[in-house]
Amino acid sequence: MVDFNQMYRANAKRLTYLAYMVVKDWYEAEDIVQEAFIKVYKKIDTIEDTEKIRAWLNAITVRTAIDFKRVDKRRNWASADVSLLEYSYQKSGMGKNTESEVEIRLFKEELNRSIHKLSESYQAVLLLKLEYGMKEAEIANVLQLKSTTVKTRLYRARRQLKRTIAEKYPA
């Protein structure tokens, strides 16, 4: 049986740094680690291989950080959408500029939906690369993977994403 308190003491500081690498805010990183450990506590009985606890904790923390980042981004989009509406009402008519902005926004939303349909392993590497600008080596370090594995997953995720987008937007 795994001692939760000991596991927390041994990993909390490292996981806080890991969460910080994703969200770039120490206070949010601490909240993320707390949330991650709540998830761990609920699933602690499912641990079979104690040698893989560190990787398991890393994955939970990174995914929780990505979820926090998504929620924060949605909150910011909502306020941006309101200001965009106010701006469009101030203008007398909608020009081509606004139409192209709307098309771009819709395409980005479709792209985001397509990314979230990918497998979790592809999502993790792709989101860390695209949204957080991490290099392959950083992603490998965060997810505790080999650099070649990260490169392969990025390649496959992009290829799968291109196929999905090509089906929805044929040339």
Q: In terms of Cα–Cα distance, which of 164, 74, 169, 66 is closest to 123?
A: 66
Mean pLDDT value of segment 137-151: 88
pLDDT for position 84: 45
Q: Walk me through the domains of the chain, giving residue ranges and CATH numbers.
A: 1-90 (1.10.1740.10), 97-171 (1.10.10.10)
Question: Is residue 53 very low, low, confident or very high in pLDDT (cuts 50, 70, 90)?
Answer: confident
Q: Rounded CA gap, 18 and 66, in Å?
A: 11
How far does Cα 92 stand from its chain's mean position?
39
- pLDDT tens string 59-118: 899 999 988 887 766 555 444 444 444 444 444 444 456 777 777 777 777 777 888 888
* pTM for the whole structure: 0.47
CB environment 4-15: b (16+ within 10 A), e (fewer): eeebbeebbeeb
